[in-house]
Structure 1
Amino acid sequence: MNTLYHYALSPFCRKVRLSLAEKKIEVGLVEERYWERDPDFMRRNPAGKVPVLKMDGMTMSDSAAICEYLEEAYPTPNLLPRDPKARFEARRLVGWFDDKFYHEVTAMLTGERVNRKVMGTGYPDSSNVKAGAKAIKYHLDYMAFLLEDRRWLAGNDMTLADFAAAAQLSCLDYTSDVDWNRSEAVKDWYAKIKSRPAFRSILADEVPGFTPAAHYADLDF
């Protein structure tokens, strides 16, 4: 059995889960309290981070490396374009959401409002929450700009870039931190990707002590 060690509100774990599900690769989920640095988990990934995927006789870490492996080993359906220029754009946006969006938004909102309590690291830092609430407006506007002449974020076909973005936004949507009225184009894009079968297990996630927003699992918002 393939096994994914994950944390429910980790966007990086969600990105891998979406990729696995889209490629119809069955995997068992093991919730990992990675911040406790359990010795067995640290042996699986000395970096002490999730996700960690046990598959094909390997123990793999780092969401970007895992997704690249899945794309090469299981190319159907492809989540990265064949054309080099289009592939670059998809990879560029994966990097945007994994790095810039995560640090400016998800870490500031989900990280402060949920993860601090779950991990027992204190109370939310209000200055970080305010910074995240401000930054998400910029990112939603950038997504709206991309979608002006594209069906999906990186072009006319759905790619890993869409999963990287949806993984971040779905964590934020759990606590109702996304203003879906800011852009009809972004809302339509998310509704489209949220309705995919690959999203089902993610919409079923629940974090003890935190009730998801009423619309979280509603495919029609």
Structure 2
Amino acid sequence: MIVYGSTISPFVRKVMAFAAEKGLALTIEAAGLGRGGPEFLESSPFGKIPGFRDPGADGGKDFCISDSTAICAYLEAKYPEPNMIPVAPIAHARTIWFEEYADSIFFASAAKIFVHRLLYPKMLKRPFDEAIAANAVDVELPPLFDYLEGVIPPSGFLVEDRITLADIAVCSPFVNLAHTEMVIDPARWPTTAGYVSAILARPSFAPIVAAERAMVAALG
């Protein structure tokens, strides 16, 4: 199975970590920002990453789909064990909520920091606006961290006291923040800081994060 994109995207990273927790080995092919070619566009008609291809899965034809949520749902349905999206109604709903929180609410602010402190100035050599990043750090993110600080259970897992898609989705954007040298203040958000650190140290995340850190360091 092929994932098109780059793990520098929190959504590609989420898919790769999700698959790793399920014991699945996916192949990444570079795509996005003008890369990928016809096969990528077949999997993602609007050029968004990640795209996904499961060769021969659709009656002998390749099955293609895009969007990290759709890809994770497909992998969960095809490979139901270990279960990563709970089936009990309340736990299922909470998992979907935390993924939405991560994808649409949290990363909407985190992306402003990543884009204006790393992507534009260092990776794309484009003009950037530090004021946008600073406002996200000082104004937008603190309430989102306050929320997490109040909902992370003592078990260190958001749902059912075990690793689920909820934890993978929520922690993935924190890697992008770390690439900008932003850290969670452990004095203000001790539970969140410890939670994120523990999830990102898991074997599903750690090799991905290490490879990305090396790439970012090479940018100077």
TM range (shorter): 0.7 to 0.9
Structure 1 segment 93-132 matched on structure 2, within 5 A: 93-104=98-109, 106-117=110-121, 120=124, 122-132=126-136
Q: C-alpha offsets along residues 50-71 of structure 1, whole Å, 9 cap, x if unaligned?
A: 1112224312211111111111
Name the structure 1 match of 2:64: 59
In 2: Cα distance, 1:142 partner to 1:184 partner: 13
Name the structure 2 match of 1:76: 81
Secondary structure in 1 aligned to 2:4?
strand
TM-score (norm 2): 0.85
- 1:210 to 1:60, Cα distance in 2 relative to 1, 3 A: same
Backbone CA RMSD of aligned residues: 2.2
- 1:86 to 1:171, Cα distance in 2 relative to 1, 3 A: same
**Any stretches of 5+ residues in structure 2 without a counterpart?**
none
Name the structure 2 match of 1:166: 171
Name the structure 2 match of 1:190: 196
In 2: Cα distance, 1:208 partner to 1:149 partner: 33
Q: Give the paired residue count.
A: 209
Name the structure 1 match of 2:47: 48
Contact (CA 8 Å) 1:101, 1:139: kept in 2 or not?
Answer: yes
Secondary structure in 2 aligned to 1:54?
strand
Secondary structure in 2 aligned to 1:48?
coil
Contact (CA 8 Å) 1:144, 1:183: kept in 2 or not?
Answer: yes
Secondary structure in 2 aligned to 1:35?
coil
The farther-off stretch of 134-143 and 13-22 is 134-143
**Any stretches of 5+ residues in structure 1 without a counterpart?**
213-221
- 1:7 to 1:153, Cα distance in 2 relative to 1, 3 A: same
Q: C-alpha offsets along residues 191-213 of structure 1, whole Å, 9 cap, x if unaligned?
A: 2212211113312223787318x
CA drift at 1:144: 0.6
Name the structure 2 match of 1:29: 28
TM-score (norm 1): 0.85
Secondary structure in 2 aligned to 1:36?
coil
What is the identity, as a one-letter code, of the residue corresponding to 2:200? Answer: K
- 1:103 to 1:26, Cα distance in 2 relative to 1, 3 A: same
Contact (CA 8 Å) 1:8, 1:207: kept in 2 or not?
Answer: no
Secondary structure in 2 aligned to 1:205?
helix
Contact (CA 8 Å) 2:2, 2:27: kept in 1 or not?
Answer: yes
